[in-house]
Amino acid sequence: MTSNTSNLNIRVDKDIKNQAEVFFGTMGLTMSAAVNIFLRQSLIQGKIPFELKSDPFYSVSNMKALERSLQQLKDGKVVTKTIEELEQMANE
């Protein structure tokens, strides 16, 4: 009797993998079963079986702001404030 299965090797962040294994385990699923469900539903529906949204963190404007901040850090243009100073600024 021959098996009609094939191995699929993918790279996944270790923490995500561990969290997913626990999550799927609470539903009585192995990681393999969960991936198979995803693949089958993708084929049945003819699309990714859930809505994909962009993360606003990765917006062009935010990436530019982060790049500016990193450059300021590299240039030594760092401002330090105590928690009291920050709280005072927030209340102004």
Tell me the per-residue pLDDT of 42-60, one tens digit each, with 9 for 90 and over.
999 999 999 988 888 888 9
Spans of the chain below 70 pLDDT = 1-2
- How many angstroms separate the CA atoms of 28 and 26, rounded? 6
Main-chain dihedrals φ then ψ at residue 17, nearest 5 degrees: -60, -50
Tell me if 8 is assigned to some domain.
no
How far is residue 45's CA from residue 33's CA, in Å, rounded to a whole number? 18
**7 located within any domain:** no
If you search the block for the tokens 């699309």, which residue do you land on?
47
Is the same domain home to 37 and 60?
Answer: no
Please give the residue range of the domain that contains residue 81: 56-91
Question: CA–CA distance from 87 to each of 10, 18, 80 (Å)?
Answer: 46, 38, 13
Split into its structural domains, the chain has a count of 2
My answer on whether 60 and 87 are in the same domain is yes
Report yes or no on 32 lying in a domain.
yes
Structure tokens at 63: 């990436």
Q: Are both 36 and 60 inside the same structural domain?
A: no
Is residue 1 domain-resident? no
pLDDT of the residue at 2: 61
Per-residue pLDDT, 38: 97
